[in-house]
Chain A
Amino acid sequence: MQQETNSTIAVAMSGGVDSSTVAAMLRDEGHNLIGLTLQLWNQRRLAGHEGMPEAVRGRCCSIDDVYDARRVAEQIGIPYYIVNQEERFEADVVRPFVNEYLAGRTPIPCTLCNNHLKFDQLLLTARQIGADRIATGHYARNHYDAERGRWILSRPADKSKDQTYFLFGLTQTQLARTLFPLGEMEKPAVRAIAQQRDLGVATKPDSQEICFIPGGDYKTFLAAYLDEQGEEMPASAGDLVNARGEVVGHHTGIHQFTVGQRKGIQQNLNAHPASPFYVLGIDAESHNVIVGHEEELLTREAIIDRVNWISIPELSGELRVQAKVRHRHEPAPATISPAEDDTVRLVFDDLQRAVTPGQAAVFYQGNEVVGGGWIV
Chain B
Amino acid sequence: MQNTIYLDANATTALLPEVREAMLPFLDASFGNASSVHQRGQRARSAVDHAREQVATLIGCRANEVVFTSGGTESDNLALFGTLRAGDHLITSQIEHHAVLHAAEELQKRGVEVTFLAPKKDGRIETEAVRAAIQPNTRLVSIMLANNETGVLNPIAEIAKIAHEAGALVHTDAVQGGGKIVIDVRSFGVDLLSLSAHKMHGPQGAGALFVKKGVKLQPLFFGGAHERQRRAGTENVAAIAGMGVAAEYARSFLKNDGERQIGVLRGSLQEKLLQIPGTQINGNTERVCNTLNIRFDGVDADALVIALDLVGVAASAGSACQSGSTEPSHVLLAMELSERDARSSLRLSLSRLTKADEIDRAAEIIASTVQRLRNASL
Contact = CB atoms under 8 A, between A and B. Distances in A.
Interface string B313-331: 0000000011111110000
Given A125-B303, A128-B303, A129-B303, A84 B325 contact: yes
A79 interface: yes
B323 A39 contact: yes
Contacts of B311: 130
A243 interface: no
A82 interface: yes
B325 A83 contact: yes
Interface string A60-82: 01010010001000000001011
A39 B326 CA distance: 9
Contacts, number: 51
A128 B323 contact: no
Given A63-B323, A82-B325, A83-B325, A34 B302 contact: no
Interface string B283-314: 00000000000000000101110110111000
A127 interface: yes
Contact of A128 (B307, B325, B326, B327): B307
A117 to B, nearest CB: 14
A124 interface: yes
Contact of B306 (A39, A61, A70, A81): A81
Interface stretch (B139-147, B226-234, B369-377): B369-377
Contacts of A70: 324
Contacts of A86: 327
Contacts of B339: 87
A128 B376 contact: yes
A86 B326 CA distance: 10
A84 B321 CA distance: 10
B300 A82 contact: no
B322 A84 contact: no
Contacts of A66: 323-324
Contacts of B327: 84, 86
A57 B167 CA distance: 47
Interface residues of B, number: 21
Given A79-B309, A84-B327, A128 B322 contact: no
Interface string A93-132: 0000000000000000000000000000000110111100
Q: Residue among A61, A124, A129 with the most chain B CB within 10 A?
A: A129
B323 A127 contact: no
A127 B325 contact: no
Given A83-B325, A84-B325, A128 B310 contact: no
Interface in B149-200: none
Contacts of B322: 63
A129 B323 contact: no
A129 B377 contact: no
A81 B304 CA distance: 12
B310 A84 contact: no
Given A34-B310, A79-B309, A81-B306, A128 B300 contact: yes
Given A81-B306, A125-B300, 4 more contacts: A34-B310, A84-B302, A124-B376, A125-B303
Interface of B: 300, 302-304, 306-307, 309-311, 321-327, 339, 372-373, 376-377
The 4 tightest CB contacts between A and B, nearest first, are A84-B325, A82-B325, A128-B303, A39-B325
